[in-house]
């Protein structure tokens, strides 16, 4: 399986990192070794002094598809979950300045804690979600603020890359990203459902 992540999919987040609002989706990938499941702890890597949390809704692809039409894209996922796209912001800054790829900053071991999923047809439209750290809400988002809808994202990615059952799409983070530190407890919610709950070590 593969993990595909959308960058800059919420206007306020693009602005907070001084990025232009994109005209088409920006995406990048993480390997399966990035995944952390079952609320296992996240260990801060020794190569970064600035690991940021990015809470994101995650689509679980459950059908093979290539060049999917936007109007059929909803048929390719039936569950929506929540995860964190951990980012070594200091390494990403250097990569951006030099025009280099982002993998070191985005795809490292443990950079994708993944929580539980809910059936898509039980979720309201728009979907709200949030991240609490040590009991305090630090990021909250709503799919009403997406620049590119789930369907648009699936159609776009599948022009370039075949989607397979089990692939995950991290759909971008709302504003409020910031550093995590040792002993932080991160809790991710869709609506009021706690679906992700782990500590930083
Ligand atoms: Zn992200």
CATH superfamily, domain at 3-199:
Fumarylacetoacetase-like, C-terminal domain (3.90.850.10)
Reading the block at residue 201, the tokens are 């070590």
Quote the ligand 1 centre to 130 CA distance (angstroms).
14
Quote the ligand 1 centre to 51 CA distance (angstroms).
12
Quote the ligand 1 centre to 75 CA distance (angstroms).
24
Where do the domains of the chain lie? 3-199
Q: What proportion of the chain, given as a percentage, has pLDDT over 90? A: 93
Quote the ligand 1 centre to 56 CA distance (angstroms).
7
Provide the whole-model pTM.
Answer: 0.96
- What is the 3-state secondary structure of 30-67? ECHHHEECCCCCECCCCCCCCEEECEEEEEEECCCECC
38 Rama sector, left if φ>0, alpha if ψ -120 to 50, beta otherwise: left
pLDDT for residue 19: 80
pLDDT digits (tens, 9 = 90+) for 138-179: 999 999 999 999 999 999 999 999 999 999 999 999 999 999
pLDDT for residue 136: 98
Quote the ligand 1 centre to 15 CA distance (angstroms).
14
């Amino acid at each position: 399986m593969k993990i595909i992540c959308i960058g800059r999919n919420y206007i306020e987040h693009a602005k907070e990192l001084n990025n232009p609002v994109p005209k088409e989706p920006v995406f990048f990938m993480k390997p399966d070794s990035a995944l952390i499941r079952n609320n296992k702890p996240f260990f801060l890597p020794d190569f970064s002094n600035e690991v940021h949390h990015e809470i994101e809704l995650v689509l679980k692809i459950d059908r093979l598809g290539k060049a999917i039409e936007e109007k059929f894209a909803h048929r390719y996922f039936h569950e929506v979950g929540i995860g964190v796209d951990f980012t070594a912001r200091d390494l990403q800054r250097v990569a951006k300045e030099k025009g280099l790829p982002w993998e070191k900053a985005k795809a490292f071991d443990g950079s994708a804690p993944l929580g539980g999923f809910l059936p898509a047809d039980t979720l309201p439209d728009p979907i709200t979600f949030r991240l609490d750290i040590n009991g305090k809400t630090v990021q909250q988002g709503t799919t009403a603020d997406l620049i590119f809808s789930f369907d648009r994202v699936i159609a776009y990615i599948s022009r370039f890359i075949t989607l397979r059952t089990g692939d995950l799409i991290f759909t971008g983070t709302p504003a409020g990203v910031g550093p995590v530190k040792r002993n932080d407890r991160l809790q991710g919610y869709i609506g009021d459902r706690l679906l992700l709950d782990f500590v930083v070590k």
